[in-house]
Amino acid sequence: MKLLVDECLSLRLTTMARDRGYGESSHLVWLGLAGMKDWDLIKRVADEDWTLVTKNSYDFRDPTDAPGEPGLHAAQSIHAGLVCLNGPPGMDLALQEELFTVALDELGSDLVNQVLEVTTDGKTITIDRYRLPAD
């Protein structure tokens, strides 16, 4: 599994992934893809078998029929997975690292057509894993 960390998250998460054995992981900035529109990014993610890590969960997990609208992962018949780190707006580095550590602990070896969501309300952390698109 190779993780691609979205530009909305710290570069540090990519280093964390590599340190945990996901050596092919990268960051949008490192690949020169910063500023790429989500509907173009999803094509690259799917074509290159990346597991996307983002905090813009709504943009990728909810169903949609229109390019540029939320739900771009749901429109893919097969994908390498989606990891959503859900926290308050302006999530700082410490919270990003905390949620990503939980995600890395939960990943396993395969997220094909699955979403792993790690969510905090500031008090507790919840973990959800489900199929996308749903069968």
The tens digit of pLDDT for each residue in 53-78 reads 999 877 776 644 544 445 776 777 88
Q: Residues with Cβ < 8 Å from 51, sequence gap 6 or more?
A: 1, 2, 3, 4, 80, 81, 82, 83, 111
Give whole-number Cα distances, 56 to 5, 50, 86, in Å: 11, 16, 8
Alpha-carbon span 13 to 97, nearest angstrom = 7
Segment 32-43, tens digit of pLDDT: 999 998 888 888
Domain boundaries, the chain: 2-120
pTM more than 0.85:
yes
Q: Which residues pair with 131 in a beta bridge?
A: 114
